Amino acid sequence: MEIMRFIVANSSNHFKPTAYVNSAQLTWYRRILSQHTYAVSLAIGRISKTPFATLLTILVIGLALALPTGVLLVLSSSQALINKLDNGTQISLFIESTMTTAEVQQLEQQLSHDQRVAKVRYIAPSEVMRSFQSALGIRENAHSMEESFLPGILEIVPAYQKYKSEQIAQFVEELKQLPGIEVAQLDIDWINRLQAIMNIIEQAALLLLILVSTGVMLIIANTIRLIQELYRDELEIMRLIGANNSFVRRPFVYTGLLYGIFGGLVAWLILDFFLVYLRQPLQDLLNLYMNQASVSELDFQTLIILTMIGAVFGLIGSLISVFVFSLKQENEIII
Amino acid sequence: MIRFESVAKSYANGYQALSDINCTVQSGEMVFLTGHSGAGKSTLLKLLTLIERPTKGTIHINDVCLNKLKNRHKPKLRQRLGIIFQNPKLLENHSVYENVALPLVISGCCQTEIKRRVRAALDKVGLLRKEKLFPESLSGGEQQRVGIARAIVHKPRILIADEPTGNLDPELSKEIMDLFQAFNQVGVTVLVASHDLGLIGIMKHRILTLYQGKMLSTGVHFGNNEVHSG
């Protein structure tokens, strides 16, 4: 109310200087745009005054962001690999030697109608013998061995597209109960163990991500606090000639934002570097399990996500700084 | 118009900086505020620019009671005053042009208008050729003139100066006082705190005298002893 009266009282055209050119004032949106442009230029100007310190801050943010992101990226790639391994597992049913061929065929027929079975194939003892012999390199006495020495095998490819691993494991348990089955074997124990370890690492990475994120925000908040101290005189002068809090704080918020964005960019570069470094061993590993798999490159999307995460951290950090640390400065202006 | 009514200012440690100040500065008037060091000149100006609040009494600028003005409205008030400090308080990392342009940037002027007004203000203080320089490469007098250009660039109706000639030689001081007088002649209310009695004596303007936080005199033309009611 008082300020309105002040403005009204001042708007009379009584004195020459009162011919304040109001038309020179920008429309509200252009004023906002021009003040934000000014804030950005001030922010860039300030951080470019201390290039070494700025570089260090950005590197610290980049490294801090790269660590958990890298772990999560490796985890997600490994997860894809594990899923693939998981899906490649077959169930082997070892048939008791007492079963007749007709019974086995009936069982095969029965299994092929089961929803959980994608494919079923009977490997007769003679066939098992042949592959056993070729594996051992035995040729001469092939026929002297008794065929009953080895059991027939029903090889089942489970329908992994439709059922979860747990359901398949349950199915194996059911198969074990069938008459004439000596052993039902699904070799997924080691995968399950690996999965459990991966889950622990994933949880740890998420915890690390939370800790590091908090750290990054605090680093930015503290850096902005130091810059505010550095420009304390400038802020006082600005306030004295009529700058409001937003005008004074805005450049610092942009500084934090820039730190975050560049930090994200650095994190991306670090991860890219590591990926280049690890490409060959990773490719070798993938080739062992998948024929056509290739190591994915860090794409543009990852860059955008990383810089956006950095920007958000920068924004939060700088806001913490300007709201927590600049409160004390409000009434400390001294002529 | 600026009006002080029974204004007092004391600090938490019990120091009484000002007590029972009553005085009025009419619109379009030029007035000097004098007194020895520690008399309360700066405190009075701090109250006027809302750097500090009075402990007692009321202060009005153009019928607006500063006591009632909320903190969030302080910037708007300051945007309409021209304030000059003993130490010119320039932004060291910014050029002369950027320093002078700052009040206009704050109030949201367009670039063409900023350019025109900054040039006009710098021309007025004779520093048009130095707009690209930085404050550190200017002499004390030049820095003070940049401070003045910054204070007048937004065409304030009230100009407040705290010891603007404190660090300058007599010749430069006179030049700067003449500059204030020129602004006053076009209708600006000018309040200058100064202890340079020799200089303000020849200016033929009303002088407010402070002594140990009290207003000793509110209306003496130093030259001819003409008394105005305060």
Q: What is the CATH number of the domain that holds B224?
A: 3.40.50.300
Name the minimum distance, in Å, from the CA of B5 to any CA of chain A. Answer: 18
Q: What is the ipTM metric for this complex?
A: 0.86
Q: For residue B159, give Cα distances in angstroms to A129, A183, A295, B14, B42.
A: 108, 100, 70, 31, 15
Using the Cβ of A244 and the Cβ atoms of chain B, whether some distance falls under 8 Å is answered with yes
The tokens for B117 are 């007004």
Structure tokens given for A25: 């004032």
For residue A12, which phi and psi values (nearest 5 degrees)? -70, 150
Closest-CA distance, B1 to chain A, in angstroms, reads: 10
Give the residue among A161, A200, A211, A214 at the shortest CA–CA distance from A75: A200
Same-domain pairing of B1 and B68: yes
Helix H or strand E encompassing B219: strand B214-221
Last residue of a domain, one of B100, B129, B156: B156
Most B-contacting residue of A3, A25, A230 (CB-CB within 10 A), to test interface: A3
The residue among B134, B156, B178 that closes a domain is B156
Q: CB under 8 Å to A206, separation ≥6 — which residues? A: A68, A72
Inform me whether the pLDDT recorded for B223 exceeds 50.
no
Asked if the Cβ–Cβ distance from B103 to A25 is below 8 Å, we say: no
**According to DSSP H, which parts of chain A are helical?**
2-10, 28-49, 51-87, 101-112, 125-136, 165-177, 189-230, 232-240, 245-289, 300-325
Q: Could you write out the DSSP letters of every residue in A3-28?
A: HHHHHHHHT---SGGG---GGGBPPH
**One domain, residues B7 and B46:** yes
**Interface residue A166 vs chain B (CB under 8 A):** no
Per-residue pLDDT at B133: 94
- Give the mean pLDDT of A303-327: 89
Indicate if the pLDDT at residue A55 is higher than 90. Answer: yes
Task: State pLDDT tens for residues B41-83.
Answer: 889 999 998 888 999 999 999 888 898 888 888 898 999 899 9
- Enumerate helices (H) and strands (E) in chain B, giving the number of each: 7, 10
Which structural domain, as residue segments, surrounds residue B182? 1-80+159-230
Classify strands A117-123 and B2-10 as parallel, antiparallel or unpaired.
unpaired
C-alpha B10/C-alpha B8 separation (Å) is 7
From the list B51, B78, B157, which residue is nearest A18 (CB)? Answer: B157
Last residue of a domain, one of B156, B174, B204: B156
A121-171 confidence digits (pLDDT tens): 888 877 777 777 777 766 555 555 555 567 788 888 877 667 777 777 788
User: Could you tell me if B74 and B122 lie in one domain?
Assistant: no
Q: What is the DSSP string of B131-153?
A: TTS-GGGS-HHHHHHHHHHHHHT
Which among A3, A239, A333 has the least Cβ separation from residue B69? A3
Q: What is the pTM of this model?
A: 0.74
Check if the beta carbon of residue A257 is closer than 8 Å to that of residue A315: yes
Question: Is beta strand B2-10 parallel, antiparallel or unpaired with respect to A153-158?
Answer: unpaired
| Residue B83: partners with Cβ closer than 8 Å, 6 or more residues away | A240, A241, B49, B151, B160, B161, B162
Helix locations, chain B, DSSP H: 41-48, 74-79, 96-107, 111-124, 140-152, 170-185, 197-201
Q: Are residues B219 and B169 part of one domain?
A: yes
Residue with tokens 């026929």: A143
For residues B134 and B163, membership in a common domain is answered with no
Tens of pLDDT, residue by residue over A194-249, are: 778 888 888 888 898 899 999 999 999 999 999 888 888 888 899 888 898 889 99
**Does A24 score more than 80 pLDDT?**
no
Mean pLDDT of B159-181: 86
CA distance A290 to A298: 20
A24: contact with B, CB 8 A cutoff: yes
Question: In chain A, what are the domain boundaries?
Answer: 24-84+193-329, 90-186
- C-alpha–C-alpha distance, residues A261 and A303, integer Å: 10
* A334–chain B Cβ distance below 8 A for any pair: yes
Give A8's pLDDT tier (boundaries 50, 70, 90): very low
Residues of B in contact with A7 (CB under 8 A): 76, 80
Domains in chain B: how many in total?
2
Nearest to B75 among A9, A26, A244 (CB): A244
Query: Is the CB of residue B78 less than 8 Å from the CB of residue A242?
Result: yes
Q: Which residue has the higher pLDDT, A284 or A311?
A: A311
By DSSP bridging, strand B64-65 and strand B56-61 are antiparallel
What is the CATH number that goes with domain A90-186?
A: 3.30.70.3040
Residue A181: exposure state from Cβ atoms within 10 A (0-12, 13-18, ≥19): middle
Q: Which residues contact B142 (CB under 8 A, 6 or more apart)?
A: B127, B130
A111 and A120 Cβ atoms separated by less than 8 Å: yes
CA distances from residue A28 to A25, B53, B108, B132 in whole angstroms, order as listed: 9, 32, 9, 30
With CA atoms as reference, the chain A residue closest to B103 would be: A241
In this structure, the number of other CB atoms found within 10 A of the CB of residue A287 comes to 12
Task: List pLDDT tens digits, range A87-134.
Answer: 667 788 888 878 888 888 888 888 888 888 888 888 887 777 777 777
Statement: residue B100 has pLDDT above 90:
yes
Six token digits for residue A326: 């600049």
Instruction: Tell whether B162 lies on the interface with A, counting CB pairs under 8 A.
Output: yes
